[in-house]
Structure 1
Amino acid sequence: MGTDIDGVIESRSPDGHWRFTADLLDFQPPRDYVAWECLFGVRGAGDVERPLFAARGLPDGISDAVRESGIGDFQHDHTYATWAEVAAVEWDDPLAHGPAWNWAVRALPDGEELVRVTPGLRAAAADTFGGNLLLAPPEWPPGAEVRLDDVAHRPVTLTARMLAPPDEGCWAQVWSAMRDLAARYGDENVRLVVWFG
Structure 2
Amino acid sequence: MEAAMGRQRSFDTDHVIEQAMLLFWERGYEAASMAELSAAMGLNPPSIYAAFGNKQALFERCTAHYVKHVAAYAPRALDEEATAAKALRRLVSEAIEAFCTEQRPKGCLLISAATNCGKGSECAQELLAGYRQASESMIADRIRRGIADGDMAVSVKPDLLAKFVSVLIQGFAAQARDGATADALHGVANLALRQVEVSL
Normalising by structure 2, report the TM-score.
Answer: 0.24
Choose between structure 1 and 2: higher strand proportion.
1
Normalising by structure 1, report the TM-score.
Answer: 0.25
Larger relative CO (CA 8 A, sep 6+): 1 or 2? 1
